[in-house]
Amino acid sequence: MKIYRSRSDDLENDLNKGAIWAVTYGDLMSYLMIFFLVLFAFGASKAGKSESTGKKYQETLVKIQKVFGGKGSSASLERETKREQEETMVAQLKEAMDKQNLSQYAKLETVDKKIHIVLADAVLFDSGQADLKPGSRKLMKEVVAQLKTLPNPIIIEGHTDNIPVRAGRYRSNWELSMARAYAVLRFFELEGVDPTRLAGIGYGEHRPSGDNSTPAGRAHNRRIEIDLLRTD
């Protein structure tokens, strides 16, 4: 029995010595995989501007993660998809505004945490009033049609200049700005936007974006701002 055990141990040692190459081979394969994943990530970042290509990269990355024992971040893929939808919506809304030659009345920009739309009051309301002009409804329908494609929260802000309200239905710029924000909010709701997505705020003259000492600055301050909060 002792002789048999001795021979068995010698055989096992010989086999282990012959398999040392497999350790080095395994390390080499791991390094190669890391290298190709880095190349893949670099390519994904370059292709991110293309909606279809970027989505394919994200889907492939999730599959790779699952193959190597990861969970495959579906949340990350979902966030990226929503970002792409937001960018598509912005492009379509810009195109619709350009077709209506509204560059002097409307501004659309994308910032880190929101998609920001600014509409001059002249295109929406008569002086001192908070009822939407009939001619503004085509523009507002375009805005609503695009915002309805996404589930993001929407904040509507009313702003005025600093000229005091002297007569009419509203006693102050506070009331006028809130009434105008509500008019836009109500229009959105009637057009089918989920009310749980909507919020309205009136700032009066207290958040100017232009110089209230000049007619041009005051015109700049009389505005409606619509913010679509972006995906985290």
Q: What is the pLDDT of residues 153-208, one digit of tens each?
A: 999 999 999 999 988 889 999 999 999 999 999 999 999 999 999 999 999 999 99
Domain spanning 82-229, CATH architecture = 2-Layer Sandwich (3.30)
Residue with the two structure tokens 């190669």: 32
Tell which wins on pLDDT, 211 or 25.
211
Read off the pLDDT band of 83 (50, 70, 90).
confident
Selected residue with higher pLDDT from 83 and 121: 121
Higher-scoring residue by pLDDT: 205, 41 = 205
Tell me, rounded to whole angstroms, the distance of Cα 161 from its chain centroid: 30
Assess whether pLDDT exceeds 90 at residue 129. yes
Query: CA–CA separation, 40 vs 33, rounded Å?
Result: 10
Domain ranges of the chain: 2-80, 82-229
DSSP labels, 106-148: EEEEE-SSEEEEEEEHHHH--TT--SPPGGGHHHHHHHHHHHT
- Contact partners, residue 216, CB within 8 Å, separation at least 6: 210
Q: Report the C-alpha gap between 52 and 71 in whole angstroms.
A: 23
- Quote the CA–CA distance of 201 and 177 in Å, as a whole number: 8
C-alpha span between 207 and 93 (Å, rounded): 26
> CA–CA distance from 165 to each of 67, 160, 204, 224 (Å)?
67, 10, 11, 18
Cα dihedral 182/96/121/137 (nearest 10): -60
pTM > 0.75: yes or no = no
Alpha carbons 191 and 144: distance in angstroms, whole number: 7
Whether residue 71 has pLDDT greater than 80:
no
**pLDDT recorded at residue 51:** 47
